[in-house]
Amino acid sequence: MNENNCGRYGPYGGRYSGETLMHALQELEDAYRKAQKDPAFGEEYARFLREYAGRPSLLYHAERMSRDLGTTVYLKREDLNHTGAHKINNVLGQALLAMRMGKKRLIAETGAGQHGVATATAAAYFGLECDVFMGKEDMIRQSLNVYRMELLGATVHEVTDGTATLKDATSEALREWSRRVDDTFYVIGSVVGPHPYPEIVRDFQRVIGDEIRVEMLEKHDRLPSALLACVGGGSNAMGTFYPFIGDPSVRLMAAEAGGEGVESGRHAATVAAGTTGVFHGMKSLFLQDDEGQITPVYSISAGMDYPGIGPEHAYLHDTGRAEYFSITDDEAVDAFEYLSRMEGIIPAIESSHAVALLTKMKSEFTPDDIVVVTISGRGDKDVEAIGRYRGKIR
Ligand SMILES: *Cc1c(COP(=O)(O)O)cnc(C)c1O
């Protein structure tokens, strides 16, 4: 195991990896640095976001919700993107980078299937080969997404190690990458993993915060009072927060998956209950036992049950720049129904955690405040599960 000092966020981040991947990660970093300096890369990426993903996604003034909560609420509508969530922003960027590096094959890990579907979509769009690694348990629970990936031309590989869920799929994708680095690009799904991934994913997601900033200044000639987003690995939240980190007047508030409550032990509340460790190539906060074994995680929201958090979030938490709150399944489901009734927008159950955070914290805001909630994705995929949870569907 080698350690490399770059990509640090305070004590977090870094690059913890074996020999083969150290080389591949350096190659990736070099290619990314070159791409960053090449205006053609930025222009091409912007064009794909516009023409294929459907950006800019709109900032929507939620008037009924504003009246109800006693503050001014805007929603950042990532749910309107092609494939229905923010994940497309990141996969289009990484796929473009893969092609610059001459790689013909994309691989990805997936839990609920959303990142796998987004990667398979980008692969189809650019005509690349695509292999997705998914835990056996998740393949059973999310069979529709398995078919969706196949429909898009990807091959889905069943992972039976460990708990046969997302963390095991991620480990397998990293192993597969070290087996076939020459023609393969590993598209990681959140601001996690060894350097330079957390930085690359953040840079491809910052379009969310950049657009919020431009529209806010145009509409109100001021910055928002607070930004709220949900956190699984942390990519939609990091994309929302990042352009505002240097603006101390803007509160950055993140909602993590509290599952059945942090006391119950059935949750994915990494900041509330995690400790520092090294896993999946990075130093960060993880849910682990005293021996450093990663513990099973649970959330009603499949997109948020990762046992870690991106290293930059761990740092923003330590420094107090961003605040992290746990939202339970029940609170998220209430918010799922609330936004549906109040605005006619059915949010993803992940995004519902951010909506729940606002309804919980409403007393901290006045009508003069402007708060922006990032709706990371649409809720069509969750309607059936929530209907069952409520006993409305059998
Ligand atoms: C995957 C996903 C998330 C969680 O991932 P982050 O990296 O924390 O953003 C949140 N919302 C939706 C809709 C997702 O698909």
Segment 354-383, tens digit of pLDDT: 999 999 999 999 999 999 999 999 999 999
pLDDT in tens, 297-322: 999 988 888 999 999 999 999 999 99
Mean pLDDT of 287-296: 94
For residue 294, give the DSSP letter: B
Helix, strand, coil in percent for the chain, rounding step 5: 50, 25, 30
CB 302, CB 268: distance < 8 Å: no
Which strands form 282-286's sheet, in the order they lie side by side? Answer: 2-9, 12-17, 282-286, 275-279
Closest residue by Cα to atom 1, ligand 1, is 303
Asked whether 124 and 160 are in contact (CB, 8 A), the reply is: no
Measured from the Cα of 192, ligand 1's closest atom is: 7
% residues pLDDT > 70 (the chain): 99
Average pLDDT, the chain: 96
**173: CB partners within 8 A, 6+ apart:** 107, 108, 109, 133, 186
- H helix or E strand, kind and range, residue 2: strand 2-9
**What are the structural domains, with CATH classification, of the chain?**
8-49+86-201 (3.40.50.1100), 56-84+206-389 (3.40.50.1100)
How far apart CA 62 and CA 66 sit, in angstroms, is 6
Question: What ligand 1 atom has the least distance to the C-alpha of 205?
Answer: 9
DSSP H or E segment with residue 148: helix 143-151
Question: Which ligand 1 atom lies nearest to the CA of residue 231?
Answer: 8
**pLDDT per position as a tens digit, 95-137:** 999 999 999 999 999 998 999 999 999 999 999 999 999 999 8
Q: For residues 229 and 353, what is the distance between their CA atoms, to the nearest angstrom?
A: 8
Give the Å distance between the CA of 19 and the centre of ligand 1. Answer: 31
In SS3 terms, 344-359 reads as CCCECHHHHHHHHHHH
Average pLDDT, stretch 210-220? Answer: 97
3-state SS string for 234-271: CHHHHHHHHHHCCCCCCEEEEEEEEECCHHHCCCECHH
Q: Which of 80, 89, 90, 190 to mutate to test the pocket of ligand 1 (most atoms within 8 A of CB)?
A: 190
What is the 262 CA–ligand 1 centroid distance (Å)? Answer: 20
pLDDT surpasses 90 at 36: yes
* Nearest protein Cα to ligand 1, atom 7: 235
β-pair type (322-328, 251-259): parallel
Q: Give the mean pLDDT of 330-355.
A: 98
Cα 146 to Cα 230: distance, rounded to the nearest angstrom: 25
Q: What is the rounded CA–CA span in Å between residue 127 and residue 121?
A: 10
On the question of pLDDT at 1 being above 60, the answer is no
Which two tokens mark 146? 């398995």
Give CA–CA dist 69/267, Å, rounded: 28
Report whether 113 contacts 134 (CB < 8 A).
Answer: yes
Report the pocket of ligand 1 as residue ranges, CB < 6 Å.
Answer: 85, 87, 114, 190, 230-237, 303-304, 348, 350-351, 376-377
Cα 381 to Cα 369: distance, rounded to the nearest angstrom: 32
Q: Residue 272 pLDDT more than 80?
A: yes
Report whether pLDDT(2) > 60.
no
**Rg value, the chain, Cα:** 20
Closest ligand 1 atom to Cα of 87: 15
Contact (CB, 8 A) for 229 and 325 = no
With beta carbons less than 8 A apart as the criterion, state whether 95 and 186 touch.
Answer: no
Global pTM?
0.97
CA of 377 from ligand 1 middle (Å) equals 8
Q: What is the pLDDT of residues 239-252, one digit of tens each?
A: 999 999 999 999 99
User: For 261, phi and psi rounded to 5 degrees?
Assistant: 110, 140
Atom from ligand 1 closest to the CA of residue 232: 8
Q: Active-site residues: which are they? A: 87, 109, 376
The number of residues in the chain equals 394
Spatial distance between the Cα atoms of 207 and 90, rounded to a whole number of angstroms? 10
Nearest-CA residue for ligand 1 atom 14 is 303
pLDDT at 6: 84
- How many Å lie between the centroid of ligand 1 and the Cα of residue 121? 17
Q: How far is the CA of 248 from the centre of ligand 1 (A)?
A: 25
User: What's the Cα-to-Cα distance from 286 to each of 45, 305, 385, rounded to whole Å?
Assistant: 33, 12, 27
Report how far ligand 1's centroid is from the alpha carbon of 166 (Å): 13
Burial class of residue 266 (count of CB atoms within 10 Å of its CB; 0-12, 13-18, 19+): middle
pLDDT at 305: 83
* pLDDT score, position 252: 99
What is the model's pLDDT at position 192? 98
Indicate which residue's Cα is closest to atom 3 of ligand 1.
Answer: 303
